[in-house]
Every structure is written in C-alpha cells, then in structure tokens.
Amino acid sequence: MNLEITPDVAHALGHYVYAYLDPRDDPPSVFYLGKGVGQRAVDHLYDTIESHKVERIRSIHACNLKPRIDIIAHGLRDDVEASRVEAALIELVGIHALTNKVRGLNATEFPRRPLEAFIAELRAEPVEVIEPALLIRVNQQFQYGMSPQSLYEATRGVWVIGEERRNYAQLAMAVFAGIVREVYSIESWHEAGTTQYQTRDQQELFSTSDGRWEFVGHVAEDSLRTRYLGKSVAGYHKKGFRSPIIGINPGGSCA
C-alpha cells in the first residue's frame, strides 16, 4: 500500500503525534517520535539529510521492509498541545533509545521524573554563586538516576567557550531544570576530542568538536557541594538566553 496522506485523511488527523517503528524487532520497536499536520508523518521516508533517523530508515529499506508508522494521538487542539504530547512520549521512551536529535518542547520544564524529585525541585531554595563558576545546562544528556560518571562526562564537554571564561572559572556546575545536580572543580581545559570518555560515543563527539573545548576535573569538596547541590540557580538563566553555559564572575555577576 502506498502511504499517502490525502486531504481527507489530513483533515481527520488534524494536529497529530506519530511514531516510527522498526519491523525487524519483535515486537517492533519505536525509534522516532514526531508531531505535525498533513504529510509530516511520511516526509521522513524521503528525507536525504544525513542523520541517525535516516540511517535507520535506509537500513530497514535495505531488508526489503518499510518502517511502520503509528498515529499515537490525533485531533489535538493545536501545535502546542501536539508538542506537549510529543515531549511527554520522548521523556517516557528516553531520548537515548530514539533517533530524535533533541528532547521535546519544554522538556526541561516538564520532564519525566520521580515524584520525590518533583517535590524536591519545587521546594529548591535559590542560591547565590559566589565562586568564579560556569553553570552548564546538560539538558540533552541528563537523565534521572544517571551514574556519577555519566553526569560528569555530560558536563565536561564539548562546548563553545572563550578563553576568558576558561581562565577564570574554578567550578563547573551541572544544571538541569534550573537545579544544580553536581559541582566539579576544574583542573584543566583541552581541545574537544583529545581526552577519553567512558560513557559517551567518542566518534559522535569528534563530529562536533571543531572549535569546542572540554575540561578535566573532579567532584568538588564537600563544603561546596553542600552549598550548591540541589539548589536553584534558575535566576541566572534569563529568558531567551540560549547558550548552555553561563559564566559567573568572581564578583557574582553573569559573564
């Protein structure tokens, strides 16, 4: 059957959320989640941009099979509602189990998380950062319950960061959803891809390493961890500021 979303089908679907499944698995496994209107669900079959998603589709076609496309939800009110459903599904399945490049819309505001984490984050006290530090948002890599090594490696690289910030920063704080998840003392900076990772795909890091940097360090002393761990630094993240790194100068101001 030739998959085509004709006008009558598009009208019935409205705003919808869909999944791509690999028929080679038993049962078929979800490898991509998306949302859209009209032809969006079938557009990926003809995508030529190099990505993990396209590679997976090509490998399925090479076996004389087609990916299964499931409609997860349809008749949604608008793109905002579809985006929230898509984001919730990505959080449920886990970004690392999918070929999606990024987590869904507002995933850091509405992540899947244990109830105890929700309560702790709701009550997190704001803290003033008084040491020269970098607040590093690890939005794409962070997972509740991830190992200390995984969190460290998600925080230490790889970043576009200027020499001035590299020179003055003494601490690096892993931040997710505005909360400090760990505090590291920075020992040294290196060009991206020149130090080893245990939990991240070295090849993938090399592909995005041009002009980027990574640090080597260790978990900070207990007094610093007690001061910052689990506290909110959301006040330092200004609305519309997209950089994953915020520098805090010795005087406590953003740089």
Write down the domain spans for the chain.
Answer: 7-97, 123-248
More confident residue, 74 or 239: 74
pLDDT at 32: 97
Residues in the chain: 255
- pLDDT of 233 over the 70 cut: yes
CB of 231 within 8 A of CB of 184? no
| Mean pLDDT, rounded, for 64-82 | 96
- pLDDT of 1 over the 60 cut: no
More confident residue, 1 or 166: 166
For 88, residues 6+ apart whose C-beta sits below 8 A from its C-beta are: 104, 110, 112
pLDDT at 11: 97
The pairing of strands 133-137 and 171-176 is parallel
DSSP state of 46: G
- pLDDT of 206 over the 70 cut: no
| pLDDT tens digits, 4-34 | 899 999 999 999 999 999 999 999 999 999 9
- pLDDT of 196 over the 60 cut: yes
Q: Is 244 exposed, middle or buried (0-12, 13-18, 19+ CB in 10 A)?
A: middle
- Report the alpha-carbon distance of residue 68 to residue 198 in Å, rounded: 34
pLDDT at 126: 97
pLDDT at 251: 59
- pLDDT of 124 over the 60 cut: yes
Helical spans, DSSP H, in 186-233: 202-207, 222-228
pLDDT at 250: 62
pLDDT at 101: 84
Mean residue pLDDT of the chain comes to 91
The one-letter code for the residue type at 189 is W
Per DSSP, what are the bridge partners of residue 215? 189
- In the chain, DSSP finds a helix count (H) and a strand count (E) of 9, 8
pLDDT at 208: 63
For 163, residues 6+ apart whose C-beta sits below 8 A from its C-beta are: none
| Mean pLDDT, rounded, for 174-179 | 95
- The separation between the first and the last C-alpha atoms of the chain, rounded to the nearest angstrom, is 57
CB of 174 within 8 A of CB of 138? yes
| 3-state DSSP assignment of residue 93 | helix
The one-letter code for the residue type at 91 is E
